[in-house]
Amino acid sequence: MNILFHILLDIIFPIFVLIVAGAILQRTVKLNLSTLSTLTVYFLLPAVCFVNIYQSKLPNAVVSQTLGFLMLFNFILILISMVIAKANKFDRKLSSTFKNSMVLSNSGNYGLPVSEMAFAGNPIAMSIQIIIMIFQNILTFTYGLYNCVSAQSSGMEVLRKIMRLPVIYALLLAVLLKWLHVEIPFYIWKPIENASTAFLAVALVTLGAQVAYLKISHISRPIVWIVIGRLIISPIVGFFVITVLGLKGITAQALFIASSFPTSRNSSLLALEYDNYPEYASQAVLLTTIISSITVAIVVYLSKILFAA
């Protein structure tokens, strides 16, 4: 229990201090969310990606294991979300919001800071989380978007959204420079590293600002199922897939922890844009983020026991 308390105090608590700070700032001085979001997505996130991929000695086996896990894990999670939606007789729009809220996780401005704190900035663990984040972004603009608009969105539109993500180009550039053994001069490396360091605080303050005005009017059955699906069923599925694939050590720990992250803010944005019960989607983001302070701490604790490096 001392280890669990340490995780809560030293990993989860500092993260939620910054989230709460963001919420307070938004309510008092009205932060410009558009600017913060643009700064994070187009500058800080690519810097984090570049620094960690460039610094990591990520074996090809780890990349293939991570991608194999993600495909199997998300396939199972999508099937389970479909079964739950059908069993509860959710209508088409509610079913869309439910499935996105259960499958799409906040692997960016929640997942990356958690991984950074949990693994003390270990480049391999961080690189795994970056791969997960990119995969989740692609999943958002394919599966998530399809859930919302189906036939209304062309394949080219989805592709354009994905290709606009600068983090993909940061990843490719880092891989290319590593492959060519190019040494980056200090005067170029230092500002990139400084931008990478700034990501954690800015991302969490932004997340806090985003949820500052979200409210939970009442906890309905769909919300209960989203919380159960995202915070309980998802880590169980993650553990099952890790066991089936025989993954161990840092790789298994990073993937298990990533399977426990709360609902992505993107699911709420998609629901709002296409009017698919946006109130449920926003409540799901807020509630899973709050409850994850306990559930993620437990998963981090279990990961150290079940998959000791």
pLDDT of the residue at 276: 80
Query: What pLDDT was estimated at residue 151?
Result: 37
CATH number, domain containing residue 56: 1.20.1530.20
For 170, phi then psi, to 5°, come to -65, -40
- Beta-carbon contacts of residue 142 (< 8 Å; ≥ 6 apart): 158, 162
CA 183 to chain centre: 31
Range with top average pLDDT, 126-135, 183-192, 273-282: 183-192
What CA–CA distances, in Å, run from 166 to 42, 46, 248? 6, 6, 31
Contact at 8 Å (CB) between 40 and 202? yes
What percent of the chain has a predicted confidence (pLDDT) above 90?
42
Task: Using alpha carbons, select from 207, 188, 206 the residue that is nearest to residue 264.
Answer: 207
143, two tokens: 């599966």
Note down the domain range covering 197: 2-306
pLDDT of amino acid 73: 98
- Phi first, then psi: give them for residue 164, nearest 5 degrees: -85, -5
CB 290 within 8 A of CB 106: no
Question: Using one digit for the tens of pLDDT, what is the confidence trace for 79-123?
Answer: 999 999 999 999 888 898 999 999 999 988 788 888 888 888 788
**For residue 4, is pLDDT > 80?**
no
pLDDT at residue 254 is higher than 60: yes
Strand, coil or helix: 122? coil
Cα separation of the two ends of the chain: 20
Give the residue among 16, 90, 136, 24 at the shortest CA–CA distance from 280.
90
pLDDT at 152 over 50: no
Q: How many domains does the chain have?
A: 1
197/181 Cα distance (integer angstroms): 24
- The mean pLDDT value of the chain amounts to 87
Residue 277 dihedral angles phi and psi, to the nearest 5°: 50, 60
Tell me the C-alpha distance between 63 and 44, whole Å. Answer: 23
305 and 7 in contact (C-beta within 8 Å)? no
CB 33 within 8 A of CB 202: no
